[in-house]
Amino acid sequence: MSEMNPAGGAIPAAPIISFDKVNKWYGNNFHVLRDIDLTVAKGERIVICGPSGSGKSTLIRCINRLEEHQQGHLIVDGIELADDVKAIDEVRKNVGMVFQQFNLFPHLTVLENLTLSPMWVSKIPKKEAEERAMMQLTRVRIAEQAEKYPLQLSGGQQQRVAIARALCLTPKIMLFDEPTSALDPEMVKEVLDVMIELANQGITMLCVTHEMAFAKAVADRVIFMDQGQIVEQNNPHDFFSNPQNERSRDFLSKILGH
C-alpha cells in the first residue's frame, strides 16, 4: 500500500509496520495466525473486523509483543520484534494500546495513571509529565476529572482516560483492541468521537472493532479476518458495498443485517 503524491504517482515509503509470513500457534495445534502478510504505511488508519476467534486481537497484540509469533518476520518502525528485550522496550515506547477492559490502574488517580510511564520509563520530570498529561486530558475532553480515581468515572470516561494515557507516550502507532465493546450504548459515541478526532490528526491507527460506522467515517482500509487469515482487504466504500468473498458477505450480513 503506498501513498499518493499530489502529482499522481505513487511514492513508495517504508511501511511503519510490516508482517512477513507471520505465523502463530497456541500450543501445538491451534494455528491462530496463518501466513499473515500485511504492510501498514505511516499515517494509515486501518480497521480490522471478523468473527470472534479469527485472530484479530492476536494480530495487533503481536505488534507490541504482548503476544509472541513463532514464524515469520514482524518489523515495527524499523525494529524487528524478536526475543531481544531492548528492542521490545524501544517498540513499546512508540506504540500505544487501548484495551477493551480499559485496564486503568485503580489505585492511582487519573493524572497519576497518565504520568506513570513518562516519569518512570522516559524519565521525564514530574512537572513536565503533568503538563503533558493535562494536555492529553484536554484533548479527550476530560481534564476536569484529573484528580478523580478511575472507578469513580463512567465507562466512557474511563476509556477516554485510557486513550489519553496511551497518547502520553507520544506514540507513532495507536492500537485499539475493541475499545467500545465493553461500554454501554450511550457511551460508545463519546469514545468514537475522540477516536475520529485522533484519526483526523494523522496518527497511524489499527483498530479492531465492530463499529462499522466508524470504519466508514475514518478508515483508509478495512481488513476482514477469519480463522487466522486475512480474507479480504479493501477501502471501506468498496468493502461494504461490494464484498468480494463469500465469508465477508456472510459476516457483513450478520452485523449489518438489523
Partner 1 sequence: MSATLFAPIAARPAPVNTEGLMPWIKSNLFGDWKTALSSVVIGSLLLWYVPQFLHWALLTAAWAPNAEACRAPGVGACWGVVAEKYRLIILGRYPFEEQWRPVVATVLMVALLVASCTRAFWRPWLVVLWAVVLAIFFWLMYGNALGLAKVETDRWGGLPLTILLASLSIVMAFPIALVVALGRRSNLPAIRTFCTIYVELVRGVPLISVLFMASFMFPLFMPQGLTIDVLIRVLVGITLFAAAYMAEVIRGGLQAIPKGQLEAAATLGLSYWQTQRKIVLPQALAMVVPGIMNNFISIFKDTSLVTIVSLYELTGALGLALNSDANWRPFKIEGYLFIALIYFAFCFAMSRYSLWVEKQVNKGKVR
Partner 2 sequence: MATALPPKKQSWSWRSQAFRGIVYQVLAFGVIVFVAWFLASNTMHNMRVRGIKSGFDFLTSTAGFDIGESLFKFDSSEHYWRAFLVGLVNTLRVAVIGIICTTIIGTLVGVGRLSRNALVRALCGAYVEWFRNIPILLQLLVWYLLFTEVLPATNEAWQAGNFFLSKGGLNFPSPIWAAGHKLTLAGLVVGGFAAWGWRRWAMQKFLQTGQVRSLFWMPLALLLLGTLIGWAVGGAPTEMDVPIKGQFAIENGGALTPEFLAVLIGLTMYTAAFVAEVVRAGIQSVSRGQSEAAQALGLSPGQEMRLVMLPQALRVIIPPLTNQYLNLTKNSSLAVAIGYPDVVSIANTALNQTGRAVECIAIVMLVYLSTSLATSALMNWYNSRAAIKER
Binding site for partner 1 (CB under 8 A): 1, 23, 25, 27-29, 31, 34-35, 70-71, 221, 227-229, 231-235, 238-239, 244-245
The site partner of 101 among partner 2, partner 1, none (C-beta below 5 to 8 Å per kind) is: partner 2
Cβ at position 96, least distance to partner 2 in Å: 8
Instruction: Please say which residue, 173 or 199, places its beta carbon nearer to partner 2.
Output: 173
Cβ at position 225, least distance to partner 1 in Å: 11
Residues that bind partner 2 (CB under 8 A): 64, 66, 89, 92-93, 95-97, 99, 101, 103-107, 116-117, 119-127, 149, 151-152, 165-166, 169
Cβ at position 41, least distance to partner 1 in Å: 12
Nearest alpha carbon to residue 48 among 166, 177, 167: 177
The C-alpha cell at 78 is: 524499523
Which of 90-122 are b and which e, b meaning 16 or more Cβ less than 10 Å from the residue's Cβ?
Answer: ebbbbbbbbbbebebeeeebbbbbbbbbbbeee
The C-alpha cell at 137 is: 486530558
The C-alpha cell at 11 is: 511514492
Distance CA 229, CA 21 (A): 11
Cβ at position 34, least distance to partner 2 in Å: 24
Instruction: Please say which residue, 157 or 234, places its beta carbon nearer to partner 2.
Output: 157
- Contact at 8 Å (CB) between 117 and 169? yes
